[in-house]
Structures are given as C-alpha cells and as structure tokens.
Structure 1
Amino acid sequence: MPEISLKYKLSFFLILLTLLPTLTAGIFAYRVLVRALTENTQKSEMSILENQMTNFDIAMYNFELILNDLVTSESTQGFLQFRKEKESEIYYSDLLLLTSKLDSLINQHGDSLEMAAFLWNDGDLPLVRGNSSVLNLSGDYTRREPFSHFLQSDASIHWQVFQKQDGPAIYAYRTIYDAAANANIGVALINFLPDYFRELLARTVEQDAFCILLDGQGNIVYTAGVAASDALQLQEVIREDEDKKLSGGKGVVPLSLRDRKYMVSFADSKINGWRYLYFNPLTNINKSIHQITWLVLMVTVITAVLSVIAAMVLYHYLNSPITRLSNAMLHMEKGVLGTRVEIRRKDELGQLGDGFNQMSEKILELVQDIEKEQNEKRRAEIRFLQAQITPHFLYNTLNSIKSLARLKRTDDAAEMTTSLISLLRLVNSQDELITLTQEIEYVRNYVSIMAFRRNKKFILECDLEPGTEGCLLPKFSLQPFVENCIIHGFSTLEEEGKELKIFIHASIREELQIELEDNGKGFEPGKIIDKPEENGIRFSHVGIANVEERIRLYFGNQYGIQIDSAIGKGTRVLLTLPVKEKTEMP
C-alpha cells in the first residue's frame, strides 16, 4: 500500500476541523450580533456627541464674534484713541458708549456670562461690568496671574480655565492692539458661569456613565456623574493616554479605567479645541445580548477544546520532524559534522530527513579527507624542514672539528663529533614526537657544539620535575629557542665576560609546562626574532613560528608558546603542551 502524501494528510485534518458547522455558525452569529450592536451603539453615541459639539461650537463662535466686536468696534477704538485724555469730553462720551456696550452684553447673556472687562498693560483703572468680585484687581494686577498671562498673549482669541477652590474660572480673551504704538495695550475678556457649559452640553446619562469637558490643556471644565476626586485622577489618565487611543479629533474607542471597561465617545471643538468625552460602561451595551451570550459561549468552549486538540495533534505531527531537522542543522552549523536525524516516515518529511543524513555523511567524509590531506601535506613540509641541516652550520662545525684535530685537541674533537652525530641522528629519525629527556639531550649536544665553535662557555641548567621526563613533544621544540639565546641573547654579552646561562624547567600543572630562560640582553616585545638572512648560521630551517605551528598541529589550538622579554632583562619562553607519554600515542 503506497504511503499517503503529506498534502493529503493535511487535507484530512483540515476537513476534520471544518466538520463543526454548529460551532462555525454560532461563532459567526455571535460576532455578527456583537459587532452590529457595538457599531449601532457607537454610531448612536457619536451622533449624539456630534450634535452636542455642533451646538457647542455655534455658541463658542458667537462668543468669539462678541470678543472681536469688543476689540474692533468703533466705540472701542474711539475710547482707545482718547484713553489718556481723561479731561476731554470725547473720552467720557466714548467711555459711556463702551460701558453701555458691556452692560448690554451682560444683560443679553446673563445665563452664560458672569463678567466682561477691559484690562490695560499700564495698570490703568480697568473697565469691568458684571460680577467684579471674581477679579482681584487691587494693586498692580498686571503682575498677577492670570492677568499677566492674558496681557502677554498674541492677538488671537484664547480660552483659558483656572482651577479655584470653589470651582473652575473660565475665560475667553483677546489682546487689544494699538497700531499707532505698534504694541498690545490691553485685553478684552469675558468670564463664564461654571454651570453654563453643563447646561449647554446636558444629556441623558446612562447608569454608571459619566461625561467630562476638558480645555485645550487638559484641564477639567466640568464633569457629570463622577466625583471631584475621581475626576482629577481621570484627568491625569486622559492626559497621559499612553496607548494614544484618544488621538484624533473625534472617535469611539474602548478604554479601561479603574479596573472597568468603557466605550468612550469623544469629539474636539473646532472653535477652541476643547474636548468632550462620554464614558459609557460596556456592561450597558452588553445587557441586550446576555441571554444569547451563554449559549454561544458554551458552543464556543466546546469548539475551542476540539480545535485545540486537533491543532495540537496537527502541530505535533508536522512540527516534530521539522524541529528535529532544525536542531540537527544547528548542530551542523556549530561544527558537529556527521549529525544524523531520525524521521521514521515515508512522506516528504521522511525523504527530507534521509536527504539530510546523506548530505551530513558526505560533508563529514569530505572534511575528513581535506583535513587528512592538509595534515599530511603540512607534516611532509615539516619533515622536509627538519631533515635539512643548513650547509653553513654543517660546514662550520666540521671546520671546527678539523681545527681541534690540528691543535691535537683530540678529546674536544671527539666530543664535538659525538654531539654532531647525535644531532644528525635526530634529524634522520622517523619519530616526529620524542620524550622531553631526549629533547634535552639534543639541546645539550647543540650547546656543546656552539660552545666549541664560539670558544665560549655556555651554562645549561635543567630542572625536570618527576613525571615530566617521559612526556612527548615535537622534536626540535626547544632547540630553536636555545639557538636564539646564543645567536641573539648572548651576541654582545660575550665580549663583556658575563656568565652566559640558559635555564630549562619542566612541570605539570594539569598541562605540561616547559620554561626556558636566559640572562641575555632581551629584545623589544613584538620584534620578530626569526630572520631569513640568518639561515646560514642556524642549525636547521625549523624556526620559532614553525615550533608553535607543529604543537598546534599535533595537539590542538589550545596549546602553544608564550614569549616574554625586555631589553636588559633576558628572555622567558613558556611552552604549554598536553601531558602525553609514549604509551598513550597511537
């Protein structure tokens, strides 16, 4: 029987999920009902609010016309022209006209205005009609708020609310500009009765609902249906509006306040920028659908459980092999080559897993072949370098033996010959790793040859802690550093008669650590010690960089060399290697 394809399996599960028409119809009906009721409520609320704000804007526009008339009328301009000539008949005539104008304004709008006045920047006697007790005009009123703020405003109409102990003080004002003086000389203002806006925006408030009117700075003008203390907290919440739900000129948005959800309708005045908000609890909106809610909720819960179960089965069926493939790829990215993934299926995902395993095996084989080829190539290069003794070194050494023989220093010639033979034996040895004891012996032979050649006494001291003698290291690991000591470190000290010492200490501190120190002249940190032009006086082509490369090639990148030196203080070399003996090597 052929295996079913993944696409047919998915189709089967999708069809299973669609075999729940009751659930689908219930959810659809519930959402449509809630949406329709919510939209109708929002439209109704917005319609009421827009009508209120239209009436509000008309009233505010009329008051702005009144202010403009107060500032620009002929009676006002005539009074301003002769305001300083208080002894003239024209002054008193214009003053009488302006006073009559203010009295007429107060009489016509007694249900909305409490006071109308003219204030002057020079502190001159103000002209006030209506309830003057709302203004504290004693002394220099031009320096007190809110009048100092009024007098310094621009020529447009401003609406301002100031909070007082007995309620808000609401002003509309406009500065008076004197063209002759090219300056503001005063301000015309009107003061509103606090209850005027309450009556202007009166409406039927539903249960637990409330409304609030804010000025352009977010200050409360009036509230209805909410306590004063709660209104102040509400004012701060609206000012912050972290989610920017109340942005824009008007709208209906859900909002949570004091652990309760509201449907908030709001609109801004086009005249003075004030904002009117109506908070209606969502419980009021949902009352009409509570009976159907429980039935739909029951169907929804049952359907949700079935959907979750089906979704979990489908998710596990699809996600499990994909997750295993993803994890295997992450292992491959981290360098764990040869990673395999087990997907016991015959569909497309199973084929994908088999393809991944084949790819992983191929990559591992290729990398191993490349590493093997590179290591063999590098080891061949190293063996080639180790097998080459520089001709000049061999020539000079043989010439030194010849000179000793002529001088009949047969013992010295024999010792020098023995040391050279030992070095040649190491060069021709097939062992790439030798014990520390063998390396020390080769170093002693090299130092002995150089002492004869330079006719100097080089002191080589070795301190090998127990357990280090049989540890393995690449051959010629110490000889290049000893050679460097003699060629560079002691180059100028030979003439000074200073005792020339080389000290080698080996210890095991979880790793094999070999320290090599000399009392030579040292060198500047970072200065390259290996110099190609010195190959003629060196024993072989194996240099310091080559030593570190061989250590890492044989043992890994965590091992290597550290060199510390300072001019006049000698040089210290630290070799770090693993603790390996001959029996541990393959």
Structure 2
Amino acid sequence: MALIKRFVPYSLKNRLTIMLIVTTMIPLALIGTISYASIYSVLENKAERGVRSNLHQVMLSLESTLDQLNHASQQLALDGRIGKNLDLYLKADIYEKKQLLDEIKNELSLVTFTNPSMGLAFYYFANSGKVMFENYSIEEGVDILDLPVLSKLGTISYNGPHRSLNPWDGHQVFSIVRNVNLADEENVYVYIETSFKLAESLLSMDQSVADTAHLIVDSEGRILFSEDEKLFPTGSLYASGERNQNGYAGHYFFEELNEKQNWRLVAAIPKASYDRELRSWLLQFAALTILSLAAGCLVAWILWRTVYEPLKKLSQDMRLVPYSKSQSNGRMASIMEFDRIHNSFESMRSRIEMLLLEAEQREQRKARLEVEKLMHQINPHFLYNALDTVRWLARMRGEKEIDKLVSSLNKILHYNLNKGETAQIRDELEALQNYMSVQSARYQFHYEIDFQAEESNLDWFIPRFILQPLVENALLHGLKDDGRIWVRIAAEGSDALIEVRDDGIGMTEEQLRKLRDTETDSAPSAAGFGIGLNYVRKVIALHFGDRAKLFIESEPDTGTIITLRLPIIREVKGDA
C-alpha cells in the first residue's frame, strides 16, 4: 500500500489527469485486443462458413439440375413412353409414323414444359450423324460424343460446362447424353442440355466474396470449366497439392465434392478479397480509436475546467475559515452540485461560528453553576444536620410524634441528596411512604394507599423521584376526604407499567386536554396541577426518548388513572 501511495500523485490535479488518461486508454486497449481476437475469429469463420455454405448451395443446385436432366432423359429413353414411341416410329409405316410423330412432339413439348431447367433436346444417331425431334435449332456437324465429360455412369454421360449446341444461345450449359438402347438400332442417344443461362446463373449464386472464380474439376483432376482462364486455364490439371505455384499462391481454395459422380466444384478466392472485410474493420477501429482519444482529451479538458476549478475555490475558502476571512461571495460555480456544496459549506461555517460562540457562553454558565452548586450543597447539608439534632432532642424528651415526623423528613432529604439518576423501585416506594407520612401529619387528613407489585419487580430501576410527583398530584389536587390511592407495578412484555389511580374528584375534558399538551406552559395552572407531571414527562423523555409513554385517564367524580410505560431496566452500570 505504501508503495502504491509513493507512485500516486498527491495533487488532485495530477490524479485527475492520470485517471482520465488511464480510463480512456485502458478500455480502448482492452476492447481493441479482445475485439481484434474475437472479430478476427468471427469474420474468419463467417467468411469461411459463407463461402462453404454458398458453395454447398451451388453444388446442390447443380446436382438438382443434373438429376432433372437425368429424369427427363429417362422419359426419352426406351424405358420411357417417348423412347418406346421412338422405337415404334422407326418400325412403323408412313401413316403410323405421322401419328407417332405428332404424339412424340407433343410429349416432348410436355416434358420440356414440365422441366424448366431443360433447354435443347434431341435424338442423335451416331452411325449416320442424324438428328431427330430437336426442340430448338442445332449447329451443323455437331458430335455430342466429343463434348467435355464431367462424369460417366454406365451409358449416361454428364457433360459440361460447354457452349450450348443451340447457335442462338451461345452460353455455357450442362448436358446429359444417354444411350436409348433401341432394339433394332444401335448407337442412338438422347441429348438434353440446361436452359438459357442456367449454368451461369447457378455459378453466380455464390456471392459470399467478391472476385470468386469457380472451377469444375473432373474425377481425374482436370479443369473442365474455369471462370478465370488466365490463372486456371481449362484443360489444365488442378494443382491441389501445389498451392505455392503461380496463381495458386495468392488464393484460398474451397472444395465441394459430388460423391455420386466424383467431380468437384472449387471456389478460388483471392486472399486480398477474402481479407477485405477484416481490413475494413481494422481501419474502422483505428479511426474509432483516434476519435475516442480526441473525445477523451476533450472530455478531460472539460472535466478539468468543470471539477477542478470549483474545488480549488472551495479549498481556498476552507483554508481561510480559521482566520474568519472567507470570501465565498461571488464564488458560485453555476453547477448545481457544486453550488449545493458551496451553500452547505457556508451554512456549516456559519453554524461553526455560532457553536463556538455558544460553547464559550456555556463554559461561562458552567463556571457560574459550579459556584452555585457548591453554595446549594452547603445549605442542604446544614439543614440535614440540624434536623438530625432536632430528632435526637425529641427522642430524648419522649416526643415520639415529632421524632417520627423529623425522621421521615430527614430520610426524604437524605434520599433527594443522593447522587445518581436512577433508583430501585423499592427505594422509590420507601421514599414515597416517608413523603406520605410527612404530608399526613402536615394536613391532618386520613387516606389509604395500596401498593401492588411482585417482589421481583421491586428490583427494577427507574428514574429517581418520578413516583412522588404522581402521588402528590392525586393527594393534593384530586383526592377526597378519606380517599384511597392505588400504586400498581407490573410487567407487560419488555415494558414496566406503573399505574397510580385514585378515587378523587377527577377532571373535565378541558382540563385533560391542557394537561396532555406537553408543549403548553399554561397547562399546569389551567388544570390546577401538572407541574409534577411536566417534570415526569421531561425525566422519562431524557432517559428513554420515544420508548417511554405517559397516559392520563380521568372522569369527573370518578377518579384519575396515570399510567407510565417504561422499558424494564434490571441493572445499571456505574453509579445508579
């Protein structure tokens, strides 16, 4: 930790500058590193998946097209209806030939219509070079057996791509040549090629990467078709194992094998085109990095002006506080948060000055109170000693009533002079009984007081001198002649209930309202009593706060019930 502090600037200005630079650069570095690794992998996989997916789709389309040609050739062979009609046509007389000719043409038109991938179709008699039942024009002197063979399965030959035999077409096509196997005629073949521009449209389906050159390689590894004759000439061997030679070095190659016919469709992609998307992303990221750095510098400067300058002014004001030379006026930052801090600082500074003044005044009052306390302590001790002397004189002269009265008064004075803020309930009750004895002798009236409490409850601690004011109110201001007072102490949950009840004259609602108003100074005089209750309220609020409650219930000519609810205290620390 000490080593870190050693290298961290102590100045907020320098820390803020370093933090802004670090918070700008670290995310860029992390994002750049992670993004490059991730995006490079994603783009690499994306490009490869795209090329292979498109290549696979092209292969499926080519296979589907060749399968359609094969299916159509089956209908034109001897196994099909048209092929059988052809066999009958060659054996029939002139009348039957006319009928079969129309039927063959109609059926051939139907097959052509139901196979949209089918273009030129005709029968070829190899021995004579004769052509029959062609559906389009044919170049003169064609030899379908001399076409580039893609693959050969039995008597079926798949050819292409090659130039269409239709002189009005001139586009690359795939074709199929199938032996019809007539009974009386040998070397009769049916020829079917793909429709107008179908082969080229199939190869152009692969648009995953620009500048892609498609190659079709036969089972012997010879290139039958090439979209880039300069680098991969038709008829040359496909150098699959020699990628570092000639044009192969600057290309990526992706192959799709036709397992049925053992030929391959190859996509040759220039490396520059293949990596073009990645380079484009790198250029974009570099531009974004430069813009982010520029934006970070701008934000750093704005933060510097926004944060540091108001803090600098606030720091200057704080340093001037001990000298009472604060110059806060006119230093508002015009920023809500800093203005709030400034206002709070001003309020705190004013409050500190007031507190210092109050502390000085309290110290002066405290010194005066110490002197007054010493004076008040001298007088009660003198009175206590004087009463003790009177008690012994009365006892020596046999004045038992005077002895008893002075003894009770002496105990009350001694109890009140004791230190500590709390006392056990048994001590409070004993002091209350002494007080009642003095009051009985003083006012010459008869009363009864009942104490209801379990023995264990008498060990609880309560604030000193809170029972006497409650009983005194009942005795002097509410009790009738020969009245009765009940004092009940019980537990309710974690609280102690202290109830003082009398059967005196009670109070009206107006008297109760004023007595319950703890904030009204006129309540005691208006109710006829309440000074003691006000004292009890303040004492329990001082000791227990909101946890203590005082309730007053009264009805005229019925009596009054005062209930205290206090937290139970079973022991106290230090001087009680």
TM-score, scaled to structure 1: 0.33
Which structure has the larger Rg?
2
